[in-house]
Structure 1
Amino acid sequence: MKQKNWVKKVIILVIVLVCAAVYFLVPPVKSSMNRVFGMFASGDFDVVRNFVASYGAWAALVSFMLMIFQSVAAPLPAFLLTLANANLFGWWQGAILSWSSAMAGAAVCFFIARILGRDVAEGLTSKAGIAQIDTFFEKYGRNTILICRLLPFVSFDIVSYAAGLTSMSFKSFFIATGIGQLPATIVYSYVGGMLTGGAQLLMTGLLILFALSALIVMLRKIYMDRQGKQKGGNE
């Protein structure tokens, strides 16, 4: 067991060092990554759409890779990409692109957690977030994936990482993710295909507000659960 943990730490260290070296020593990579981080940080639908569109014939591939990237670097706002895809490629073509790329991102997160373990998964997300999904697994077992995918306030990416830490098979995870993710993808894509002008700002603002509200609710629940456990332990 100690040897296995040692190998994991070496793998993580090598990956981090290689990524850091590429970022700092290759100017085009550093410039591109800064643009990507700036795009997501803006929270602006137009910025995301224009960024993807700027790659012309490669736009769909860039969007696909960005969706995987945001999955690994949770919790970047995936819904902005989904809206942009629908607006650029049409709602049903955008839905296919967003759904398939989200599935690829979920698979990457699942295997990162399964291969590299809890410490890495918590480092890429949050310890509290993983613990929250652990409680879902305790209550609902294998149905957790489908249930969480249907709940808009539960982080898509943290669920993927948490699933990789369980004994669940990848096949079961992938099927449940595909089914559970489809309704939200279709709704966002349909709305994104119709967004123009002021409607874009309104929809983006509402989605951001909803996401923040959901985050507050989740954090409050985590806090209340911890308080309940502390009281129970003191009795």
Structure 2
Amino acid sequence: MKKEKTWVKKVLLLGIILAAVLVYILVPPVNSSINRVMKMFASGDFDVVREFVASYGAYAALASFLLMIFQSVAAPLPAFLLTLANANLFGWWQGAILSWSSAMAGAAVCFFIARILGRDAAERLTSKAGIAQIDTFFEKYGRNTILICRLLPFISFDIVSYAAGLTSMSFGSFFLATGIGQLPATIVYSYVGGMLTGGAQLLMTGLLILFALSALVVMLRKIYMDRQSTRKGGEK
């Protein structure tokens, strides 16, 4: 029965993906819009992303939410640009809520894609090397991997979500760790994004570097404490 349910889920998900691909190929307006989105992310320009989201007017928040999910699936597009834009357009705390909730939704989608379709699909949507790197983290730190990786902005948010879906970790544990681990980065990006104008980009860069270094210190301390605990356990 379990295998049958898994098979049905796989067929349904593949059907949805196939339908989306056909719409992209056969419907010119959709094709044009997706290409525009890809160029927008690829630009790496905060102003371009902000103007793109703002162009949807009253539906800007919804557009941003869907864009966050899209970039999650199409890893590794830069999500932090959307987080900065959200804060700049909607205010830092409203933008933080929008970015955090949409990132959580995107993480859930990636998790279930990997869980239902398996490793081959996850590696094609991300990279074989990227998945292998996170596999190593899981081998060393187990469930703590999610929390550790979420605190490190230089580790791909989306690849971690896909890799988690390939493990035996429950979705509840994954979702909780993601929510807690993602919150500090979202708050920092949003606070900076809320005051980002022209010369403030230098300030943003400095703060992000500081945040990355702080997260690295937390991770290294965690690794050190785990090793010390293992050694003490071995001595006993």
TM-score over 0.5 (shorter chain): yes
Q: Describe the shift of the 1:33–1:158 C-alpha distance in structure 2 as closer, same or farther (beyond 3 A).
A: same
Show the counterpart of 1:111.
Answer: 112
Larger deviation: 26-35 or 197-206?
A: 197-206
Show the counterpart of 2:172.
Answer: 171
Partner Cα separation in structure 2 for residue 200 and residue 114 of structure 1? 39
Secondary structure of the residue aligned to 2:155 is: coil
Q: Describe the shift of the 1:127–1:12 C-alpha distance in structure 2 as closer, same or farther (beyond 3 A).
A: farther
**What is the deviation of 1:203?**
3.8
After TM superposition, the structure 1 = structure 2 runs for residues 31-70 of structure 1, keeping only pairs within 5 Å, are 31-70=32-71
Gaps of 5+ in 1: 212-235
Q: Describe the shift of the 1:180–1:9 C-alpha distance in structure 2 as closer, same or farther (beyond 3 A).
A: closer
Secondary structure of the residue aligned to 1:147 is: helix
Q: Deviations over 1:77-133 (max 9, x none)?
A: 000000000000000000000000000000000000000000000000000110100
Q: Does 1:153 align with 2:154?
A: yes
> Which residue type is aligned with residue 189 of structure 2?
Y
Q: Describe the shift of the 1:204–1:32 C-alpha distance in structure 2 as closer, same or farther (beyond 3 A).
A: farther
Secondary structure of the residue aligned to 2:33 is: helix
Secondary structure of the residue aligned to 2:154 is: coil
After TM superposition, the structure 1 = structure 2 runs for residues 1-235 of structure 1, keeping only pairs within 5 Å, are 14-200=15-201, 203=204
> Which residue type is aligned with residue 50 of structure 1?
E
Q: Is residue 44–residue 204 contact of structure 1 (8 Å, CA) maintained in 2?
A: no
**What is the deviation of 1:30?**
1.1
Q: Describe the shift of the 1:46–1:207 C-alpha distance in structure 2 as closer, same or farther (beyond 3 A).
A: farther
> Which residue type is aligned with residue 80 of structure 2?
F
> Which residue type is aligned with residue 113 of structure 2?
I
**What is the deviation of 1:13?**
5.8
Q: What's the % identity of the aligned pairs?
A: 89
Aligned residue pair count: 210
Partner Cα separation in structure 2 for residue 165 and residue 124 of structure 1? 14
Show the counterpart of 1:221.
Answer: none
Q: Is residue 111–residue 162 contact of structure 2 (8 Å, CA) maintained in 1?
A: yes
Larger deviation: 32-41 or 77-86?
A: 32-41
Q: Is residue 68–residue 106 contact of structure 2 (8 Å, CA) maintained in 1?
A: yes
Q: Is residue 60–residue 97 contact of structure 1 (8 Å, CA) maintained in 2?
A: yes
Partner Cα separation in structure 2 for residue 156 and residue 82 of structure 1? 13
Gaps of 5+ in 2: 213-236
**What is the deviation of 1:16?**
4.8
Partner Cα separation in structure 1 for residue 40 and residue 208 of structure 2? 17
Secondary structure of the residue aligned to 2:186 is: helix
Q: Is residue 82–residue 185 contact of structure 1 (8 Å, CA) maintained in 2?
A: yes
Partner Cα separation in structure 1 for residue 133 and residue 144 of structure 2? 15
Q: Describe the shift of the 1:96–1:172 C-alpha distance in structure 2 as closer, same or farther (beyond 3 A).
A: same
Q: Is residue 110–residue 161 contact of structure 1 (8 Å, CA) maintained in 2?
A: yes
